[in-house]
Structure 1
Amino acid sequence: MNLPEVSIGGLCPKLPVIQGGMGIGISLSGLASAVANAGGIGIISGVQIGFREPDFEKDPVSANIRAIGKELRRARELAPNGIIGMNFMSIDSHYTEYVTEAVKQGADLIISGAGLPLTLPELTAGSQTRIVPIVSSARACRLILTKWLRKHNRFPDAVVVEGPLAGGHLGFKLDDLYNRTNQTLEQALADVVAYIRKFEQEHNVSIPIFAAGGIMDYTDVQRMLEIGASGVQVGSSFVTTKECDASDRFKQTYLDARPEDVRIIKSPTGFAARAVNTKFVQQAYDHGGIPVQHCFRCMPEICNAATTPYCLSQALFDAARGENMGGLVFCGGRVGELHEIVTVQQVMDRLTKPAAM
């Protein structure tokens, strides 16, 4: 099966591969530009993107807004002909400001999950920025598409279906993940494909679907295409590349992780998440938690500094830098299969070309 040509609102990558947005500081302009130059779609994570700015602790919102522009401009310089987008969590208290800035700075597309990105059409109205929601079920997909159409007369330019083997925050119930009673990616993808195909016929539109979570090689990609996907979104495999923006210690945590080191946790966001069972995670969940030293107020409606087991932002900062017992290292369910540092081009080849006999 040949890889299909894909159009995301007129954006046509050479290869139907989206690099997943990984924060904090894991997928910035370095990784995103390398993926874009290799023919895929490079995604910069907008989650606390300004954490390296000198005034971040004092004024994180301004620092993040400034860094959005810096990272997008740098990615454009490194990949002038590539497709560069950003990923934002819709539960972020400053989602509106961050998406608005990314649009102002000319992001080709916005991918958004961690909740339902119901306001995304109005935040991108009148721009050339394409919009792509992340869903984990046909039910969530139906809700988003119905509300976007009714309130904004807007269709998504693509949809990402994220299965239970994805890294970071997951769109599945904690108990289902523990008991393995959740849908598989294949099941969720088939349901979303069936719903969107009917939706396309009713509204005379075309909406490409990307499968995400546990995609490692060409065989996985072909399986998703056979179910009805137009392409794939991949995260973990791009972490163990030379071009990834993460620290060497972060990458080494991936290389050292065995399958039994992967753990499902309840994030301070309230969502289930998947991470490496570092010493930090063990302290946070098994030994009384880690007191919050400074609250960045990124999600005050959700996260209470007095009761949370740790500060999510600080834990991810520490992970990106390789500090504080390893920090919170989000990972995909198949991280144990990554054993060496490679290049982005090698990952793209593994995803888009059959293995040599």
Structure 2
Amino acid sequence: MRLPNLKLGELVASVPIIQGAMGVGVSLSRLASAVANEGGIGVISGVQIGFREPDFETNNGEANIRALKKEIQKAREISPKGILGVNLLAAINNYKDMVKAAVEEKIDLIISGAGLPTDLPELIKGTKTKIAPVVSSGKAAALISKLWDRRFSYIPDLIIVEGPDAGGHLGFSLDQLNAETKPDLKIIVKEVIEAIKPFEEKYEKKIPVVAAGGIFSGEDIAKYIKIGASGVQIGTRFVATEECDAHINFKEAYLNAEEGDVQLVQSPVGMPGRAIKNKLIERVELERIPVTKCYNCLQPCNPKETPYCISTALIKAVKGELEEGLIFAGSNAHRLSKIVTVKELISELLSDAEAALV
């Protein structure tokens, strides 16, 4: 049985896979355009995207905006007809300026997590750009839908439901993640589908729900399609591709990881995260690493108290300086064994998913 298309209004992805945004610099134009060219939705991570710009240290906000525009333009050159998105954390200090920059470049989709993007509909008003919040509960899905409905007469074009096995920052408490019975993505997806029904009925419009976090195989994709999801978001698998924008050392960290190496960490921004254990993680468990340069990038971060600078740590990781970098990864990173092309990966996922749907 063929997998369904993923429809966002007039935009139709023939492959119902969104490539997860991975920052800093792990998913930029090369990876996003490769995914879009295969019929999926390719996503550029906007987090500190200007880290290669010459004035990044001195003019962080402008450097990020400039780099975001460059990466969208490069991706569009490689994939003129594909569906391209950017992921912008609601917690970044220059959120509105980054959204406006993406909209100016006619990006197809803006995805926002790490807080509720309360004003996002206002920022895309009068454009064709679609918007998608990232949630981790039916309650959060209903809350953002209700807020957008009341304030802007708008509902999400797509909702991404991220479960506890994702890499990077997670929308759960450490207690929830360490509990004997941790949150179940299948249950959360079903709750979100139910929670948004009143809004779908009011607007006579389907809101596609996409499952994310720990999805590794075609069988996983089929599992979520069967319970009513319109598609899936996958991050970790795309790191082990030739087109992934990260340094080869970063990719090899995934290939060399064993099951016990991927662990929960407390991020400086106050949220739990999941990363590959290394010297940085071992060190911050024992001592604080003073922040020598603050980029003023995230709202909840206090440079005088934070255990280390997350921007510096993520930039070092993507450049291949693994022992001093923060290597965010999903819970299944240890299952990766080789680097493939995006085309090969999507072909495998589709083939296995369609076989599992029969």
Q: Same fold (TM over 0.5)?
A: yes
> 1:281 offset after TM fit, Å?
1.3
Q: 1:287-313 CA deviation, whole Å, 9 max, x = no partner?
A: 2032212111112x4111111110010
Q: Give the distance between the partners of 2:146 and 2:243, measured in 1 at CA.
A: 39
For residues 344 and 298 of structure 1, the distance between their equivalents in structure 2, rounded to whole angstroms, comes to 31
The CA deviation string for residues 97-129 of structure 1, in whole angstroms up to 9 with x for no partner, is: 101111011111101101111111111111111
Distance 1:57 1:121 in 2: 31
Unpaired runs of 5+ in structure 1? none
Paired position in structure 1 for 2:104: 104
Structure 2 unpaired stretches of 5+: none
**Which residue in 2 is equivalent to 1:156?**
156
What do the CA deviations read for 1:9-38 (whole angstroms, capped 9, x no partner)?
Answer: 211011111001110000000000000111
2:251 corresponds in structure 1 to 251
Counterpart position of 1:314? 312
| 1:128 pairs with 2:131 | no
**What residue number does 1:338 align with?**
336
Distance 2:63 2:266 in 1: 28
Q: In the aligned structure 1, how far is the partner of 2:204 from the partner of 2:79?
A: 34
The 2-side partners of 1:114 and 1:67 are apart by: 21
Structure-2 residue corresponding to 1:293: 292
Q: TM-score, normalised by structure 1?
A: 0.97
* Superposed displacement of residue 334, structure 1: 0.7
> How many pairs align?
355
For residues 350 and 62 of structure 2, what CA distance do their matches in structure 1 show? 40
SS in structure 1 opposite 2:233? Answer: strand
Name the aligned partner's letter for residue 288 of structure 2. G
Counterparts of 2:137 and 2:350 in 1: how far apart (Å)? 26
Using the alignment, how far apart are the partners of 1:339 and 1:146 within structure 2? 44
Secondary structure at the counterpart of residue 196 of structure 2:
helix
Partner of 2:172: 172
> Cα–Cα, structure 1 residues 180 and 11, in superposed 2: closer, same or farther, change >3 Å?
farther
Q: Contact 2:171–2:271 at 8 Å: present in 1 too?
A: yes
In 2, Cα distance between equivalents of 1:48 and 1:81: 27
The answer to whether the 8 Å contact 1:217/1:352 transfers is: no
For residue 67 of structure 1, report the CA deviation from its aligned partner.
0.5
Question: Is the aligned partner of 1:191 residue 2:191?
Answer: yes
The match for 2:144 is 144
- The two structures, once aligned, show a CA RMSD in angstroms of 1.4
Superposed CA offset, 1:237-294 (max 9, x none): 000100000000100110111110111111111111111111111112x220322121
**Distance in 1, Cα, partners of 2:228 & 2:326:** 34
SS of the residue 2:160 aligns to: strand
Per-residue CA deviations over 1:192-233 (Å, capped at 9, x if unaligned) read 112223432243111111110111111101100111101010
Amino acid at match of 2:189: L
Q: Is the 8 A contact 2:250 2:322 kept in 1?
A: no
CA contact (8 A) 2:177 2:183 kept: no
2:269/2:300 contact within 8 Å kept: yes
State yes or no: 1:7 paired with 2:25: no
Residues 24 and 320, structure 1, Cα contact 8 Å, conserved in 2: yes
Equivalent in the alignment of 1:56: 56
Distance 2:259 2:123 in 1: 40
Distance 2:345 2:291 in 1: 38
Q: Match for residue 274 of structure 1? A: 274
Q: Is the 8 A contact 1:250 1:326 kept in 2?
A: no
Q: Secondary structure at the match of 2:110?
A: strand
The equivalent residue for 2:90 is 90
- 1:326 Cα deviation after fit: 4.5
Kindly report structure 1 stretches of 4+ aligned residues shifted beyond 3 Å.
none
Cα deviation code 1:300-348 (max 9, x no counterpart) = x411111111001000000100116150011001111011111111221
Question: Given that residues 172 and 182 in structure 1 are in contact (C-alpha distance below 8 angstroms), is that contact kept between their aligned partners in structure 2?
Answer: no
Q: How many Å apart are 1:180 and its aligned residue?
A: 4.2
Structure 1 stretch 189-198 or stretch 224-233: which is displaced more? 189-198
2:233 is equivalent to residue 233 of structure 1? yes
Q: Name which of structure 1's ranges 345-354 and 220-229 shifts more when overlaid on structure 2.
A: 345-354
Is 1:23 aligned to residue 38 of structure 2?
no
Do the aligned partners of 2:139 and 2:195 also contact (CA within 8 Å) in 1?
A: no
Tell me the residue number matched to 1:42: 42
Q: Match of 1:81? A: 81
Q: Tell me the distance in 2 between the aligned counterparts of 1:333 and 1:198.
A: 34
* Letter paired with 1:309: P
Deviation of 1:181 (Å): 4.1
Match of 1:348 in 2: 346
Percent identity, aligned pairs only, is 48
Q: Distance in 1 between matches of 2:174 and 2:258?
A: 22
